[in-house]
């Protein structure tokens, strides 16, 4: 994991489940993700990675979140009805794949899109547009609801980390996302995670 990254969402789920675990910090800026010992467990060079008790690894936010929810059904991190379950999957894919994968990557890792610095401002602007549209879509989804579905789920942990990033870069959250973000900040597990990762709550 890396503090303040997408892995924060998985960290939240682990704390919500009250599971014992060991956290290993990966310094992305220093290139830890490309070291041989990390490549041995995750050849994608990405975070987060969850190493199971049998030594096997799970990568990708959605897969890890799904495994945690399905492995601990009593916590009800996935809804029981198929319509709500599909909404959770849809939200996970959109938050991780679009808001993060297409939007924030253009803002945070602009040089990955072009070596030409003259193009960087335009690339970042496009990133802000994607994030803004994505959060507006999520705000509409949250209308009249406290969480993505009828209760806290793995989708909310994903949505939280992109809301958290918006807060950190001073990007205004749409009303329903702001309410969701504040609601998430009131959860004991979220507060604990942020303190553990070095943030003031």
Q: What is the CATH number of the domain that holds 65?
A: 3.40.30.10
Range of the domain at 112: 82-187
Question: What per-residue confidence (pLDDT) applies to 173?
Answer: 98
Question: What per-residue confidence (pLDDT) applies to 201?
Answer: 78
Same domain, 45 and 115: no
Query: Could you give the number of structural domains in the chain?
Result: 2
Same domain, 119 and 66: no
Element (H, E) at 57: strand 57-59
Same domain, 32 and 60: yes
Question: What per-residue confidence (pLDDT) applies to 58?
Answer: 98
Q: What is the DSSP string of 74-105?
A: GG--S-SSHHHHHHHHHHHHIIIIIIIIIIIH
If phi over 0 gives left and psi between -120 and 50 gives alpha, with beta otherwise, what is residue 179? alpha
Regions in the chain scoring below 70 on pLDDT: none
Residue with tokens 């989804």: 141
CA distance 108 to 117: 14
Out of 59, 75, 91, a domain closes at: 75
Q: What is the CATH number of the domain that holds 123?
A: 1.20.1050.10
Question: What per-residue confidence (pLDDT) applies to 200?
Answer: 86
């Amino acid at each position: 994991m890396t503090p303040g990254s997408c892995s924060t969402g998985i960290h939240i789920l682990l704390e919500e489940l009250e599971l014992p675990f060991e956290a290993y910090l990966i310094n992305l800026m220093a290139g830890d993700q490309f070291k041989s010992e990390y490549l041995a467990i995750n050849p994608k060079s990405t975070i987060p990675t969850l190493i199971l008790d049998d030594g096997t690894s799970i990568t990708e936010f959605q897969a890890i979140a799904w495994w945690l929810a399905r492995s601990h059904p009593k916590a009800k991190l996935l809804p029981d009805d198929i319509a709500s379950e599909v909404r959770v999957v849809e939200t996970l894919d959109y938050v991780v794949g679009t808001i993060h994968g297409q939007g924030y990557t253009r803002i945070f890792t602009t040089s990955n899109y072009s070596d030409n610095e003259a193009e960087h401002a335009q690339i970042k602007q496009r990133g802000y547009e994607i994030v803004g549209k994505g959060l507006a879509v999520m705000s509409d989804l949250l209308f009249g609801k406290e969480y993505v579905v009828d209760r806290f789920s793995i989708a909310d942990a994903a949505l939280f980390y992109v809301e958290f990033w918006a807060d950190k870069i001073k990007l205004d959250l749409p009303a329903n996302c702001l309410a969701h973000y504040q609601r998430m900040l009131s959860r004991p597990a979220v507060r604990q995670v942020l303190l553990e990762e070095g943030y003031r709550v």
